[in-house]
Amino acid sequence: MTTLLWFKRDLRIYDHPALASINGDISIIPLFVVEPEYWQLPDTSARQYQFIAESLQSLRGDLAQLGAPLIVRVGDVLDVLNSLHHQHELIHMVSHEETGNLWTFRRDQRVAAWARQKSIQWDEYQQSGVVRRLPGRDGWAARREKFVRQPCVNTPKTLKGIPIDAGAIPSARDLGLVTDTFPERQPGGRDSALTLLDGFLTKRGLTYRKAMSSPVQGEWACSRLSPHLAVGTLSMRETVQVASARKIEVKGTRDGWAGSLKSFTSRLAWRDHFMQKLEDAPRIETHCLHSAYENQRPRTPDATRLQAWETGETGLPFVDACMRYLNATGWLNFRMRSMLMAVASYHLWLDWRSSGPHLARMFTDYEPGIHWSQCQMQAGTTGMNTIRIYNPVKQGYDQDPTGVFTRRWVPELADVPDQFLQEPWRWENAAKVLGRKYPNPIVDVKSAAATARDKVWAVRKGDHFQNEAAQIVEKHASRKDSARNFVDDRAPKRKPRKTDDAQLKLDL
């Protein structure tokens, strides 16, 4: 008789409540299932899998030292579970609660039905501030705060493994994934996570609060922990506690550390806040939060505009630089993520369900709970957030004032003078470049924004919008919370426990 420990988005042994719950005298099968169907979804990609594969290799080594190496199987999870149950008489299964995309939600429902049919007890443990079956948002922030302040659970000293073929960790090519080349992708694994955390809290994070808006400075100053939090090589609780300890160390200093760490820990709280939204309402992955926007944009996108946006060929230099950077590296600072989504939604008038999957695939740190909430927020379909139509030209001037970022990623503009870099169509010699080396702008920025603004506000003025918006605010924020946004890149003026549905700063 054996207990199965099912790893999903929790690829670590430290502060792992499901692992800590296992009695040391019970035989254990630590299992990770590589599910080919999942990796064919429109929001998954090779870069995400490669990061996970590296993390699995690290986890396998850590578990082996405890006496029970990680078992990896490829296939449908029910086929794998049935096979293991037949061979080893499973009586108990433990895992963490997962807040993933709709596919994983439905997969977990199938596993729950299977466990009941086989009379196997399946215990799921909370691993972040997300609360399952939450009746309402009142009190959520306090519950989240209590959870992250509890001591991290201890790692068992030994595990009682069983003789079983560990199985190979398949490559992305084995799964039929198109492997792109992006040498700057972050590596997976626990050691990489700890190195990043230490470097951020002792050196890189000093300018975090001021530098997070810039794609140039943010690459260094942001923590870059988001992919590790997404796959669980770090736990949210340990990250909060290590950062909080560092806040105590720098208290009273005037070098910028206190403000940066305050901003960082508040963004960790916002992370859980948005994941809670998807836990409460999985349909936000597929339906506009406010139904008045459901058919506003064409569900069949303009293929030319979508491809130009995805490949960084819109003719809007800063937009194209940001997209090319993301496509090459798998990461982008939050403000630029917001701008890309806003340009797609307003200037190009693309439905968020058309543009969102590309960004999901490109993000190594793809976190469904955050991603789909943010896609809707930037597209203006939530019914409770301020409409923000980023001016991509102004963003280029503001966030890349020297042009170094734009020139690096859009080398076709090498001959364009600095004063025209973000608006090459204004250069007297533009014909030498535009339409030849680099495309003409796909839209007129000013007129496209004005048209989009008129369309969106026309919906917001309607009675149907006003009635449903009040219900949405009531459902997705506590009665004490506000639904207004605070301005980008400024720290919340209130403590995380008094959260509102503002724009999440995902510059982790």
Supply the CATH number for residue 269's domain.
Answer: 1.25.40.80
Domain presence at residue 123: yes
- Per the DSSP assignment, residues forming a β-bridge with 186 are none
Do 275 and 296 sit in the same domain of this protein? no
Residues 231 and 297 in one domain: no
Domain boundary among 127, 142, 176: 127
The domain boundary residue, chosen from 212, 244, 279? 279
Q: Residue 189, by phi and psi: left (phi above 0), alpha (psi -120 to 50) or beta?
A: left
Q: How would DSSP label each residue in 297-312? A: S-SS--HHHHHHHHHT
Instruction: Summarize pLDDT for 349-373 with one digit per residue, the tens.
Output: 999 999 999 999 999 999 999 999 9
| Digit-coded pLDDT (tens) for 292-329 | 899 899 999 999 999 999 999 999 999 999 999 999 99
pLDDT higher than 90, residue 485: no
Task: Identify whether residues 340 and 463 lie together within a single domain.
Answer: yes
Nearest to 421 by CA among 248, 430, 495, 475: 430
Same domain, 447 and 310: yes
- Model's pTM, two decimal places? 0.91
Q: Are residues 269 and 307 in the same domain?
A: no
Domain membership flag for residue 406: yes
Bigger pLDDT: 488 vs 228: 228
Residue with tokens 């926007």: 293
Strands (E), 262-395: none
Q: Is 19 exposed, middle or buried (0-12, 13-18, 19+ CB in 10 A)?
A: buried
State the pLDDT confidence band at 474, using cuts at 50, 70 and 90.
low
Sequence-distant contacts of 267-270: CB under 8 A, at least 24 apart? 267/504, 267/505, 267/506, 267/507, 267/508, 268/236, 268/239, 268/240, 268/243, 268/508, 269/129, 269/141, 269/144, 269/145, 269/496, 269/497, 269/499, 270/496, 270/499, 270/502, 270/504, 270/505
pLDDT for position 93:
97
Residue 271 has pLDDT above 80, yes or no: yes
Q: Among candidates 330, 380, 329, which has minimal Cα distance to 351?
A: 380
Domain assignment of residue 237, yes or no: yes
Res. 499: pLDDT tops 60: no
Query: Can you give the pLDDT at residue 500?
Result: 32
Mean pLDDT of all residues in the chain?
90
- Confirm whether 497 is domain-assigned: no
Task: Judge whether residue 230 has pLDDT over 80.
Answer: yes
Give the tens place of pLDDT for each residue, 148-160.
Answer: 999 999 999 999 9
In a domain, 498, yes or no: no
Counting residues of the chain whose pLDDT is more than 90, the rounded percentage is 82
Give Cβ neighbours of residue 274 (< 8 Å, ≥ 6 apart): 369, 370, 373, 374, 504
CA distance 241 to 152: 9
For the segment 422-445, the average pLDDT, to the nearest whole number, is: 97
How confident is the model at residue 137, as a pLDDT?
Answer: 81
Domain identity same for 268 and 292: no
* Within a domain: 34: yes
Question: Same domain for 99 and 30?
Answer: yes
Domain boundary among 264, 279, 294: 279
- Looking at the structure, tell me whether residues 147 and 274 fall in a common domain: yes
The domain that contains 92 carries what CATH number? 3.40.50.620
Q: Is residue 463 part of a domain?
A: yes
Q: Same structural domain for residues 400 and 297?
A: yes
Q: Is 485 domain-assigned?
A: no
- CA separation for the pair 318, 310 (Å, rounded): 14
Question: Are residues 300 and 239 part of one domain?
Answer: no
**What value, to the nearest 5°, has the Cα angle with vertex 432 and ends 429 and 435?**
120
Mean predicted confidence (pLDDT) in 213-234: 96
For residue 74, the cross-strand partners are 34
The confidence score (pLDDT) of residue 335 equals 95
Tell whether the model's pLDDT for residue 1 goes beyond 80.
no
On the question of pLDDT at 169 being above 60, the answer is yes
Whether the pLDDT of residue 122 is over 50: the answer is yes
Q: In the block, which residue shows the tokens 């160390």? A: 249
pLDDT at 464: 65
> Into how many domains does the chain fold?
3
Residue 22 has pLDDT above 70, yes or no: yes
3-state secondary structure of 249: helix
Q: Same domain, yes or no, for 432 and 304?
A: yes
Task: For residue 393, give the CATH number of its domain.
Answer: 1.10.579.10
423 contacts: CB under 8 Å, gap ≥ 6: 393
Tell me: do 55 and 69 sit in the same domain: yes
Q: How far is CA 49 from CA 182, 210, 233, in A?
A: 13, 32, 14
Tokens of 29: 């099968």
**How many residues in the chain?**
508
**pLDDT tens column, 57-96:** 999 999 999 999 999 999 999 999 999 999 999 999 999 9
Confidence class of residue 135 from pLDDT cuts 50, 70 and 90? confident
Q: Could you list the residue range(s) of the whole structural domain that residue 405 is in?
A: 284-476
